[in-house]
């Protein structure tokens, strides 16, 4: 009986030691860019802006909308980490067109607004074109 109890305690000790050893294994190292993005996300809270695209280029977009009841314009920087979707598809900032309605989730980093995600739908100009074309046929 004492041997069985000693064996059971020994087995429990081995499993407990293995669990502690695996819990102390360090997390995989992050790339420097990932560390920088993680720090920025912790420092700067995320904001959201909604409006229409005025201009779009490879490195940024300008959006017109309302903030606190007043017409305003925002200029967002776009990086390779920015996720941009239009009509359910992944696109680049260059694929956005003036008049597209967008919702931009961004971080304000000391006055520089960097877009984290951009969700777009076709603007009223494109919707009007789509309505006119079937009528022409």
Instruction: State the pLDDT at residue 125.
Output: 52
Nearest to 95 by CA among 126, 70, 64: 126
pLDDT bucket at 43, cuts 50 / 70 / 90 = low
Instruction: Sketch out the chain's domains with CATH numbers.
Output: 35-129 (2.40.50.320)
**CA-to-CA separations, 7 to 1, 18, 111, in angstroms, rounded:** 10, 17, 65
Rounded percentage of the chain residues whose pLDDT exceeds 70: 65
* Bridge partners (DSSP) listed for residue 102: 51, 120
pLDDT higher for 25 or 60? 60
Find the range with the poorest average confidence among 34-38, 92-96, 129-133.
129-133
Average pLDDT over residues 1-29: 67
Percentage of the chain lying above the pLDDT 90 cut = 42
Higher pLDDT: 35 or 70? It is 70
Q: What is the pLDDT of residues 85-110, one digit of tens each?
A: 998 899 999 999 999 999 999 998 88
Helix or strand run (H / E) with residue 56: strand 46-57
With bands split at pLDDT 50, 70 and 90, how would you rate the model's confidence at 46?
Answer: confident
CA–CA distance, 120 with 63 (Å, rounded to integer): 11
Q: What is the mean pLDDT of residues 55-75?
A: 93
């Amino acid at each position: 009986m004492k041997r069985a109890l000693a064996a059971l305690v020994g087995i429990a000790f081995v499993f407990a030691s293995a669990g502690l050893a695996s819990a102390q294994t360090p997390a995989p190292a992050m790339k420097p860019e990932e560390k920088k993005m993680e720090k920025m996300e912790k420092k700067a809270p995320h904001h959201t802006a909604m409006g229409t695209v005025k201009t779009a280029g490879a490195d940024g977009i300008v959006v017109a909308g309302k903030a606190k009841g007043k017409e305003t314009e925002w200029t967002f920087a776009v990086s390779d980490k920015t996720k941009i979707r239009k009509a359910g598809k992944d696109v680049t900032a260059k694929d956005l067109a003036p008049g597209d309605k967008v919702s931009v989730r961004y971080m304000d980093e000391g006055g520089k607004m960097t877009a984290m995600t951009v969700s777009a739908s076709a603007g009223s100009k494109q919707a009007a074109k789509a309505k006119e074309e079937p009528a022409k046929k």
